[in-house]
Amino acid sequence: NPEHSGLEISLSRFDRIYRPGESVSGVLIVTAKDGWSHTGVKMHVAGQASLQVPGENKEVKPRRLMEQDFTLVEPGKMDMGTTKIPFSFVVKGLNKNVLLETYHGAYISVNYFIAAKIERGVMKRGLEKEMEFIVEVPIRKDSLANPKEEPFEITEKTLDNVRTSKVGKIPEFRIEGKLHRSNCLINMPLTGEVKIVKSVKSISSIDVQLVRIESVSAALGSNGELSKGEMIKEATEIESLQIAVGDVARNMVIPIYMVLPRVYTCPSLSTATFAVGFEVNLQIVFEDGYMVCETFGIGLHRVQ
């Protein structure tokens, strides 16, 4: 006889990753101490996009993407011990809507979850369990088969946000390199190279920073309805990678290799009410603390 009653969800796929049209299958594992009556074993499957307008404390009604309800077991009695209840459902959008990929951002999140519930009458507390599963949404894009390199050259003369009168006071330097593709496949690492051709001042470190640009319409009401308004953008760092430390040898090729983290990135997307884009910052810090930063807009894609 088990010590406590409990409820667990177990999916047939260890990684819990599914694509639209695929079947999600698994079992609910019910542990019953002494056995008890119940009013039914129910399961709710949902997907939603949750938004927050950057800089505002305004709750926005989540956008529903997927919703399914099931009664797995009719009211009755659960026997003492462990009972496994199988279930399955198809990953599909609500009212034939297009599904968005799972994404955990700062102001935008797309989540899919399974919630199981057993009500056990007045005197016993109900059992509940929730589990997130991950949805990937690939697209067909033949243009991504041929990667387009993005070469760059940074000198004291190419810097933005520097007054013309100050350019002559910045020590001379020249940095060359390239990103191997500006349209990146999300399941492949972001790669490229950088080379310090010339620098009068010693270098302290070189970092690569992955940044998400989240945009949410300022006109979104608390009910999720849209009136006219601009998109409010906010940039937040996802990850930072130091690729060199110290005064690196001149003309030495330094590789860039950054693995894109699952769920904290997603294919670049744009809708009427929100958008998610990505940038890469290359940061060179000189010994005196002066920093040069070059920003590259990149597109992230998942292909079939």
Other CB atoms within 10 Å distance of the CB of residue 134: 17
Yes or no: say if 271 and 101 are a contact pair by the CB < 8 Å rule: no
Which of 93-102, 119-128, 197-206 comes out lowest in average pLDDT? 119-128
Residues whose CB is less than 8 angstroms from the CB of residue 206 and which lie 6 or more positions away in sequence, other chains included: 194, 242, 243, 244, 245, 248, 254, 282, 283, 284, 285
Does residue 4 surpass a pLDDT of 60? yes
Residue 126: the pLDDT is: 86
Please report the pLDDT score of residue 37 as a whole number.
87
Residue type, 84: K
- Indicate the Cα dihedral angle 77, 79, 84, 86, nearest 10°: -20
List, for residues 123-158, the tens digit of each pLDDT value: 778 889 999 999 999 886 655 656 778 899 998 887
Residue 131's pLDDT is 95
Predicted confidence (pLDDT) at residue 220 exceeds the cutoff of 90: no
> Looking at the chain, how many residues does it have?
304
Q: What is the mean pLDDT of residues 38-54?
A: 91
The yes-or-no verdict on residue 253 having pLDDT over 80 is yes
The pLDDT score that the predictor gives to residue 198 is 93
Phi/psi of residue 240, each to 5°? -130, 140
**Location of structure tokens 């690196």:** 248
CA–centroid distance for 88 within its chain: 26
DSSP the chain: --SS-EEEEEESSTT-EE-TTPEEEEEEEEEESS-EEES-EEEEEEEEEEEB-TT---B-PPEEEEEEEEEEE-SEEEPSEEEEEEEEEE---GGGPPPPPPEE-SSEEEEEEEEEEE---SSS--EEEEEEEEE---B--GGGGS---EEEEEETTT-SS--HHHHTTSPPEEEEEEES-SEEETTS-EEEEEEEEEESSPEEEEEEEEEEEEEEETTB-TTS-B-S-PEEEEEEEEEEEEEEESSPPTT-EEEEEEPPPTTTS---EE-SSEEEEEEEEEEEEETTS-EEEEEEEEEEE-B-
Q: Scanning the structure block, which residue is given the tokens 């110290």? A: 246
Whether the Cβ atoms of residue 283 and residue 207 lie closer than 8 Å to each other: yes
pLDDT class for 208, splitting at 50, 70, 90?
A: very high
pLDDT at 161: 64
Residue 116 confidence class, pLDDT cut points 50, 70, 90: very high
The fraction of the chain above a pLDDT of 90, given in percent, is 53
φ/ψ of residue 182, rounded to 5 = -85, -20
Sign of CA dihedral 254, 260, 264, 265: positive
Q: What is the mean pLDDT of residues 48-58?
A: 83
Residue type, 283: Q
Higher-scoring residue by pLDDT: 271, 132: 132
Report which listed range, 103-107, 120-124, 164-168, is most confident. Answer: 103-107
User: Of 121 and 167, which is predicted with more confidence?
Assistant: 121
Least confident range of 35-44, 167-176, 210-219, 229-238:
167-176
Q: What is the pLDDT of residue 115?
A: 96
Q: pLDDT band at 168, cuts 50/70/90?
A: low
pLDDT of 224 higher than 60: no
Tell me if 137 sits within 8 A of 101, measured CB to CB. yes
Tens digit of each residue's pLDDT (9 = 90 or more) over 62-101: 889 999 999 998 988 888 888 999 999 999 998 888 899 9
- Stretch 198-218: mean pLDDT, rounded? 92
Mean pLDDT, the chain, whole residue set: 87
